[in-house]
Amino acid sequence: MESVPEHRSVSPRALFRRIRISATAFEQSCPAALFLSAAVTAVLSARGNGFPYVLVPAAAVLLIWTLVPTRDALVRFALPMLPVLIVALFWQGQQKNFVAEAAGRARFAAEAELTIDDPSASSRSGEAFRVRNLQCRVKRIRYGENVPWIEFEDVSPRVLLDLGREGELAAMPLGFGDTVRAKGVFSALETPLFPGAFDYAAYLENEGIYEIFRPESIGIVSHGRGFRRLLYDCRDAALAAACAGFRSVENARMAGAMLGGRKVSLEKETRAGFLSSGTIHILTVSGTHVGIFASLLMLVMIWAPFRRRCLAVLAPLLLYALSTGMREPAMRAYVMIAVFLGLRALLLASSHINTLMLAAYVILVVSPASLMKPGMYYSFLSVGLLLSLPRDMGSILLGFFSRGLSQPLPAQYLPERRRGAAHAARVFFSILAATFAASLGSGVLSILYQGLFPISAVPANMLVMPLAFLAFVLAGAALLLSWAGPVAVFFSGLLEQTFRLIGWLGRFFGGLFETAVPRPPVWTVVLFLAALFFLLRTKCWRRGVSAAAIMTALFAFWFLRAAFLPAEVMVVNGGGSELEPAVVVTDPALGRADVVNVPDYRTANALADYLEERGITACRTVAVSSGRKASFDGLEALAARMPVLNVCCPSNALKKMPDGPAVSALPYDGAARSYHLSDDLFSFSIGTIDGILLSNHTGCGHLTLRKDGITFLDAGIQQTSARQLTIQTIESISP
C-alpha cells in the first residue's frame, strides 16, 4: 500500500524567503512598476483632498528595504518617491490666483509692475524676434491712481502679457528680466466653450498662469541683468549672425524655434503641415535638438578618451539647454542624456530601462508638474519604444528582406564593396525601424490628445531629421565664420534653403492624407501601446501575430468609429456684445457639418476643436443670419482652421466675407435656397432640421428647431454675459 505524502506546512521564515525571492525577481523583470507607483503618488499628492499620501512612499521604502535588501534597489526605486512627493506638495501649495484674489473679481483694470520672465523675450527689434505673448511675474499692483500699491513679496504671481498682433506695443523689444510698468486689463482664463475644445485655461494653469494682462500702455522701468539675461542675449546674437543672409522672415522664425527654442508665430499652413505630418516636434527644442547638439560635441571632441568626452560634453550641453529656456522638452532631454553619459563615464552598469527610470525620477524631482503634461508621455514613450527594439534590428530586417538571394557569409569574408553596402543597409533598416516605432507610439498619443494620426510621419521624419542635423552644422559654420562677410552669408543662405526645404516637406507630407478621427477612449490607447511593446519584445512569432492583430483591430475601431457616432444639433447663445446665436448640426457618419452664424473668434476656434473631436475635417456650409459682424466675425478664424465649402449670407454682407480659396460666399436673398431672410426672420433648413430665428439685432430673440415637422426646441434666446450651451442627439428626438 502506497504511503500518502504528509502535507508539510510552510514556516513563516520560508514563506518570507519565497516572498523576497519573488520580489527580487519582480524588481528585476519589471523595473517600471515602482516608478509608476511614484508617479501615481505624486499625482494624488498634487490633487489631494487631505489624505496623508506621505504614508504611501514611506511604506514603500520600508517594504522594499525588507523584501529587496539591496542598496541598488533602494536607491533606484524607493528613495526617489520621497522628494517627488515633497516637491509635488510644495508645488501644489504655491499655485494660487493671487491677482484675482487681491482684486476680488475676474476682470478688472489696474496698473502693474511686471518682470519679464519669458526666455523667448528679446531686446532685439525685428519681426523674427517679435513675440506676441510673454510670461511675466507681477511685482506689485494697484487699482487706481491714488490707491496704494499692493506688493507681492513672497511669491510673485505669473500672468501672460498679451501685446497684440500689431501696433507699437507688439513691436516693443522687451528682454528677459526687464521690469515694466503698464496700465491695462486683467482677465481670468476662460473655460472651453464647446466639448472637445482646447482647454487653454488648463494649459496655462499647468504653467502657473491664471490671468491674461492686456496692456494699453507700457513703460520700461529697468533692464534685466544677470546670467540668464546674458545667456539669452548671446543666443539672440548668435541667431542673428546665423540668419544674417535670410530673406524670409518665416524661415528666420523657424530657425529661431528649431535652433534657439524661441516661441514664434508661424503661418497657419506651415504649422498645420508640421502637425499633420508628425514633425511638429522639430519646432520645439526637445530630445532631437539636444541629441543632435550632443552628438556634434562628441564628434568635435573625438580626440579625447571616451569617458572624458562623456563628462566634458555635459557642461556645454547644459549651456545650450539653458539658452533655449530649459523648458520641459529640453530639460527632459538633457536629464536623459546626462544620466546616460554620467553612468557610462563612471563605468556603472545598468540596463537601459533602469537608466530611463532614473532620468524620470530626476525630472519628477525638478518638475513634478510634468506628470500632468502630455509632453512627458510623448518623450518617455518614444524613448521606451526605441529601447524596446532588438539591438541588431538592422541585421534582422536585412536578413528578412534578403532571404533566398544568396548564402549569408560573415561580414569579414565579404568583399569590401559588399561589406560597405551591407553595413549601409543595416544602418538604414535600423533607422527605419526606430523611426517607425517612435512615430507609431507618438502618433497614437496624437490620436488621444488631438484626434489626429500622422500617417506620413515615418517618411517625413526620415527626410526631416537629416536636414535638422545639417541645419545645426550650417548654423555653426555661419556663426564661426561671421567675421568673414561673404563666406558667412554663403553659409547663411544654405541654412535658409535648408529651412525652406524643411517647411516644404512639412506642408507636403501634411497635405497627403486626411487623418482626423474621433478621439478614442483612453483604454484603447493603453491597450494598443501594451500590444506594441509586447510585439517588440516577444520572440514568439505567434504571440507577435496576436499583438499585431490587436493593434490592427484597434486601428480599425478608431478610423471606423465616426460611422457609429450619432448626429447632434448644438445651440450656443449669450456671451455679451450682442452676439448672434449659433446653431451647429454635425453628422460624423457622413463627415459633414453645417453651421448657422460664427459670431466671434472664440466661437470659431471652439467650433473647430469640437468638429475635429468628432472626426470632421471640413465645414460644408456656414449660413449668416444678418449683415452684422455679430453673425460672422469669427468666420475668417474658422476658415483658417478648416475648409469652409460654402457661405450663404445676405447681399449686404457679401462684400464683408473673408477672401481666400477656403471660403465661397453666395447671397441667398430672394433665391429658392435652404436659407431665407425676411426682415428680422431668418429661416433655414439643414438636412432634416428646419429652424426659424427671430432676431432684434441685439443678440436676443426666439429660436425654433424642428425635425421632420416635430418641434424639439422652442425657446427665447437671451443675451447674457455667460455662454449657454445646448446639445441634443438628433436620433433621440421624438414627438
Hey, what amino acid is at 662?
A
Alpha-carbon gap, residue 506 to 721, rounded angstroms: 41
Q: Is the dihedral of CA 574, 577, 580, 586 positive or negative?
A: negative
For the chain, how long is the longest CA-to-CA vector?
A: 108
Query: Rg of the Cα trace of the chain?
Result: 30
pLDDT digits (tens, 9 = 90+) for 571-616: 888 776 678 888 888 888 888 888 888 888 888 888 888 888 888 8
Angle of helix 374-388 relative to helix 352-366, nearest 10 degrees, comes to 170
Q: How far is CA 641 from CA 31, 267, 271, 362, 587, in A?
A: 43, 12, 11, 39, 19
Cell numbers for 261, please give them. 527654442
Q: What pLDDT score does 41 carry?
A: 59
Q: How far is CA 161 from CA 131, 157, 498, 609, 627, in A?
A: 10, 12, 33, 25, 34
Alpha-carbon gap, residue 588 to 168, rounded angstroms: 45
Q: Does domain 565-732 have CATH number 3.30.1180?
A: no
Q: Which residues contact 43 (CB under 8 A, 6 or more apart)?
A: 371, 372
Spatial contact of 133 and 164, defined as CB atoms under 8 Å apart: no
Cell numbers for 529, please give them. 501601446
Q: Count how many Cα atoms sit within 13 Å of the Cα of residue 59 in the half-sphere of its side chain.
A: 7
Residue 459's nearest CA partner among 388, 510, 497, 425 is 510
Q: Is the dihedral of CA 455, 458, 462, 465 positive or negative?
A: positive
Q: What pLDDT score does 50 carry?
A: 47
Hey, what amino acid is at 308?
R
Which residues, listed in sequence order, are joined to residue 583 by a DSSP beta bridge?
571, 596
Q: How far is CA 557 from CA 528, 533, 728, in A?
A: 11, 20, 24
Q: Does domain 99-225 have CATH number 2.30.30?
A: no
Q: 3-state class of 694 per DSSP?
A: strand
Q: What pLDDT score does 553 carry?
A: 92
Alpha-carbon gap, residue 622 to 653, rounded angstroms: 13
Cell numbers for 460, please give them. 517625413
Cell numbers for 538, please give them. 516577444
Q: What pLDDT score does 407 carry?
A: 45
Residue 161's nearest CA partner among 140, 126, 127, 135 is 135
Cell numbers for 462, please give them. 526620415
Alpha-carbon gap, residue 544 to 669, rounded angstroms: 63
Residue 35's nearest CA partner among 358, 351, 348, 337 is 358
Residues of the chain with pLDDT under 50: 1-2, 4, 7, 48-50, 95, 404-407, 409, 661, 670, 672
**Angle, CA of 706, 707 and 712, to the nearest 5°:** 55
Spatial contact of 638 and 197, defined as CB atoms under 8 Å apart: no
Q: How far is CA 463 from CA 282, 435, 457, in A?
A: 12, 11, 10
Taking the model in full, what pTM does it have?
0.76
What count of residues does the chain have? 735
Cα of 577 vs its chain's centroid, Å: 32
Q: How far is CA 597 from CA 152, 271, 460, 504, 580, in A?
A: 44, 27, 38, 35, 7
Q: In what order do the strands lie in the sheet with 665-667?
A: 665-667, 644-649, 619-623, 592-596, 582-587, 568-573, 724-729
Spatial contact of 278 and 457, defined as CB atoms under 8 Å apart: yes
Q: What pLDDT score does 404 carry?
A: 46
Alpha-carbon gap, residue 689 to 705, rounded angstroms: 7
DSSP state of 75: I
Q: What pLDDT score does 38 carry?
A: 59
Q: What pLDDT score does 410 carry?
A: 55
DSSP state of 2: P
- H/E stretch holding 656 reads none
